[in-house]
Chains A and B, each alone.
Chain A
């Protein structure tokens, strides 16, 4: 689906529809409420056509809503709940702070959360189960918050052909892989590096901060990682990672992986950790078509000066055609392209701060 997109924002869920090169707001759901993540309508399987939205109500906590009619109407379903916390449990409180990622694979819906719990649902949100095999890993004691006070799972990468395989990423807690339907887990961080840690711990897999990981659907062994310390790519399903250097800056949060070309991806650079704005006030997109050997910095149609917007982890998305992209910012800016970024177009409206953006 290349002509419909969903934008989860601080003040509601916006459905966008495209006509030619123009996108327009077709519907707004949950106006005024923070929507932290949206799961577009599922393409097939037992939950075909259903979609899900995660709200983060300021006073009343996280809530999950589902729709059977592509967002025309919504019903509240169950919210993941952590079990009773043992009195001696280390780490953050066992309290749901936010749903940071949602994805579907076969009959399963996965929810990645702050403070780092992975939940699964087999009945599209009528019930949720905490994945204890990950939650109880001793390495979790080393996790810490990145962007929020507590750790969180922001990237869920199901394998497109093997439904018992899931790869996920934690800020800050590394990249994790399961090949047995989440029964067991292993860290896959070989090659990642954390210079924000003492030198002797720079290679520690347990504290890596992958800001965002995306998989190439057509060649699922290829993964891209925008990390706190730069950009990495893997061609062996995250067993090894190779660092890539991008122009302007290798610091950023978002990455979009081309769905069928494993050598192509897009990134949105910011100055650095200590200055999270576009370099020289110019919003740009870094585009590689050769696996990160070289980059083209796209500027056409994007603000050239006095732009202080940041693009969050889920604020950049590419459609199934590999040419249509959308980008949303903390300042509520929204830009589209239908030619892979050769020319970007600004949506005339300003949206609320954009948390997540997905096609479907």
Chain B
């Protein structure tokens, strides 16, 4: 089962479920998390369901540079980190 880990920064605003999913595509895995907390969607994705400009995703330690389709393949034991991109002041 792939695992999704959300940045603890998000806990200030909304619940971040501990997600274990059989999904083998990134977007499907994210949808599993959004099903557990629908409000989480708007914190991670924008209006067009693209990854927010200042959110970054790593799959097994590799940064995911494809931010629109979110169709990267996962392994059954992948770990997905959803983090904030460092920016601002």
Contacts and interface: CB of A to CB of B under 8 A. Distances in A.
Interface stretch (B26-34, B40-48, B58-66): B40-48
A83 B55 CA distance: 21
A82 interface: yes
Nearest to B41: A81
Interface residues of A, number: 17
Contacts of A93: 48
Choose among A61, A63, A76 the residue with the greatest number of B CB atoms under 10 Å from its CB: A61
A109 B14 CA distance: 24
B53 to A, nearest CB: 9
B43 A61 contact: yes
B52 A59 contact: yes
B32 to A, nearest CB: 19
Contacts of B54: 58-60
A305 B39 CA distance: 49
Contact of A76 (B10, B13, B50): B13
Contacts of B46: 61, 95-96
A94 interface: yes
A60 B10 CA distance: 8
Given A82-B47, A85-B48, A95-B46, A59 B13 contact: no
B73 to A, nearest CB: 25
A63 B10 CA distance: 13
A57 interface: yes
Given A76-B13, A79-B42, A81-B42, A60 B52 contact: yes
Interface residues of B, number: 19
Given A76-B13, A84-B48, A95-B48, A58 B43 contact: no
Interface string A54-91: 00011111010000000000001001011111000000
Contact of B48 (A58, A63, A94): A94
Nearest to B9: A59
Contacts of A96: 46-47
B52 A61 contact: yes
Contact of A58 (B10, B42, B44, B88): B88
Interface in A288-310: none
B84 interface: yes
A58 B88 CA distance: 7
Given A85-B47, A85-B48, A95-B47, 10 more contacts: A60-B42, A60-B43, A60-B44, A60-B54, A76-B13, A76-B14, A76-B39, A82-B47, A94-B48, A96-B47
30 contacts: A57-B13, A57-B43, A58-B54, A58-B84, A58-B87, A58-B88, A59-B9, A59-B52, A59-B85, A60-B10, A60-B13, A60-B42, A60-B54, A61-B43, A61-B46, A61-B52, A63-B13, A63-B42, A76-B14, A76-B39, A79-B42, A82-B47, A83-B47, A84-B48, A85-B47, A93-B48, A94-B47, A94-B48, A96-B46, A96-B47
Interface of A: 57-61, 63, 76, 79, 81-85, 93-96
Interface of B: 9-10, 13-14, 39, 42-44, 46-48, 50, 52, 54-55, 84-85, 87-88
